[in-house]
Amino acid sequence: MLPEVDTTIFLLLLTIGFFYYVLRFHYNYWVRKKVPQIKPTFFVGNMGNLIRMKNSSAEFIRDLYNHPQAKTEAFVGIHLFYNPAILLRDPELIKMILIRDFSKFCNRYSNSDLNGDPIGSKNIFFLKNPAWKDVRLKLTPFFTSGRMKHMFYLVDEVGRSLNDYLLSQSLQENESKLNSFVLELKEFCALYTTDVIATVAYGVQANTFKNPNGDFRRNGREVFRFSTKRALEFTVLFFLPHLMPFFGFKVVPKKSTEFIRSTINFVMEQRELSGKTRNDLIDILIEYKNWSKAQNEKKEKSNVLFEGDILVAQAAIFFTAGFETSSATMSFALYELSKRPLLQKRVRDEIRNALRESNGKVTQQLIDSLEYTQMVIYETLRLYPPLPFLDRECTIDANDTYTLDKITIKRGMPIYIPVYGLHMDPKFFPNPNTFDPERFSNENRKSIKSCTYLPFGQGPHACIGERFSMLQIKIGLVYFFLSHYVTTCSKTKSEMKLDPKAIILQAEGGIYLSVVRDPINA
């Protein structure tokens, strides 16, 4: 009989050997399929740099896209820790997955815990088909051209508050010897977009310029405050979503969930009691709550019962995604323009000329006419796409298979589309590190290859709020440049450094610029 210690060591070695064999079998998945792969590392697969927070999520996905073992391939096999997945590189295959064969890839792979995180899992971004289709269909009317015209006046009001806030700041003579003040732009832009979302979606005056630590801004800030733990939560969310319940992770933190749920339920209750309408998101949610109740009373089947947390979840994603992505884009645009005075002058000149045409009034027509400003926004989104990758899941029936370029894909296979890799590929965008809005002139946009520019996604699952996002960013920039412009200062980083903890792109350490007082009509 073996001594007890020897038995323990033997069992330990046997266990290690077993796991080694299992992992090796897993990591040979693409080899067995005769598919080119990026060689995985034991335990982490191809996720090492992201887990170690060595690079930002954008740099991580770009490095996979440009990996020597991937660079000549239309697609490659990768491993999300132990789980095999596909990274697409060819725009034609990307178009096939996102558009042509959408019905077979209609879900995102990412998701949260349906029971433990209903606000995070039941919103239109993460919701699975067929519920997703019903919710998107019901929310689409909120983003029609008619609704956009109504929203314009609400966003314009917040834009004027943005201008008033800047004008209220004390000027100082800094290192550039100009009448200016130094401002951290990411947080400032988030104040603006938080106020916009609160009034447009909920009919609530958040007044974050007067109270930057109020409930709306404080809770919104918590959702995207990327600590090490928060970074891990989002990594699991996008790459190992089936583990979200096991770890108790949430898209929206518990306190923020409680705030959003209580706020939305209160606003909806008050709206229903008053009988008043504002043509906002709350009105749409109430309308479909009543519709769903009537359907239920008639015992008619529906994929979604519009009540409780599924209503709150839509309001929550509009709030969180709506303020964060737009505020980041605004601040990145201002950063790039601060380093390029001639481009910034062209933006301000365009606004000045448009104001002359409109007798000094900011109108919907004026906003729509700002072609160069829009080009600047598009180029900013190329360099800084809020989410640097897209994810899809093969949703065919369990007994079916799908053929992708001669290889067979089964139900549940994760597919990743490297948005940032495509955006930074000189084959599609020459001199990709150069900030060049001319890429998106009316003429040049025609030559951009389909499915190589994807800041809002593509196909039926593309961002439902794209038009609204462009509206609030344009209005915000117009009111910013109305009386000010930006220059670099001693606190401005010469090169943008992205936060390695943030899955959603953020500037590490913020974006500090000198804001110079210079009324545009002076």
Q: What is the pLDDT of residues 461-472, one digit of tens each?
A: 999 999 999 999
Of 417, 415, 427, the residue nearest 388 (C-alpha): 417
In a domain, 134, yes or no: yes
* CB contact at 8 A, 225 and 490: no
Task: Give the confidence band of 23 by pLDDT, cuts at 50, 70, 90.
Answer: low
- Is 207 within a domain? yes
Residue 371 lies in domain:
118-385+460-517
Residue 501 sits at the vertex; the CA angle it makes with 132 and 225, to the nearest 5 degrees, is 70
Q: Residue range 107-132: average pLDDT?
A: 91
C-alpha distances in Å from residue 7, one per residue of 12, 15, 17, 19, 21: 8, 12, 15, 18, 21
* Arithmetic mean of pLDDT, 336-356: 97
Average pLDDT rounded to a whole number, residues 104-111 = 95
pLDDT tens track for 203-252: 888 999 999 999 999 988 988 999 999 999 999 999 999 999 999 999 98
- Single-letter code of the amino acid located at 240: L
CA 231 to chain CA centroid, nearest Å: 15
Question: Quick count: other Cβ atoms within 10 Å of Cβ 96?
Answer: 18
Residue 249 domain flag? yes
What pLDDT is stored for residue 500 in this prediction?
95
Determine how β-strand 172-173 pairs with β-strand 484-487. unpaired
Q: How far apart are the first and last CA of the chain?
A: 96
Q: What is the count of structural domains for the chain? A: 1
482 domain residue, yes or no: yes
How far apart, in whole angstroms, are the C-alpha atoms of residue 203 and residue 194?
Answer: 12
Distance CA 140, CA 148 (A): 12
What Cα–Cα distance (Å) separates residue 493 from each residue in 186, 488, 497, 502, 507? 14, 8, 8, 18, 10
Among the residue ranges 269-273, 308-312, 344-348, 479-483, the one predicted with the least confidence is 308-312
Could you list the beta-strand ranges (E) of 452-509: 484-487
Between CA 421 and CA 62 the distance in angstroms is: 4
Q: Give domain status of residue 481, yes or no.
A: yes
Burial of 4 (0-12, 13-18, 19+ CB in 10 A): exposed
Flag whether pLDDT at 326 surpasses 80. Answer: yes
Task: Using alpha carbons, select from 242, 406, 224 the residue that is nearest to residue 325.
Answer: 224
| Alpha-helix runs per DSSP H in 140-280 | 145-168, 185-197, 215-223, 228-239, 244-247, 254-274
In a domain, 96, yes or no: no
CA-only gyration radius of the chain, Å: 25
Q: Indicate the length of the chain as a whole number.
A: 522
Residue 235: inside a domain: yes
CATH number (domain holding residue 281): 1.10.630.10
- For the record, the structure tokens of 53 come out as 């927070």
Label residue 514 by pLDDT band (50, 70, 90): very high
Q: What is the mean pLDDT of residues 387-397?
A: 95
Query: Cβ atoms within 10 A of the Cβ of 257, count?
Result: 22
Q: Which of 321, 22, 39, 57 is nearest to 190 (CA)?
A: 321
Residue 297 covered by a domain: yes
Confidence class for position 287, pLDDT limits 50, 70, 90: confident
SS3 515: strand
Say what the pLDDT of residue 305 is: 65
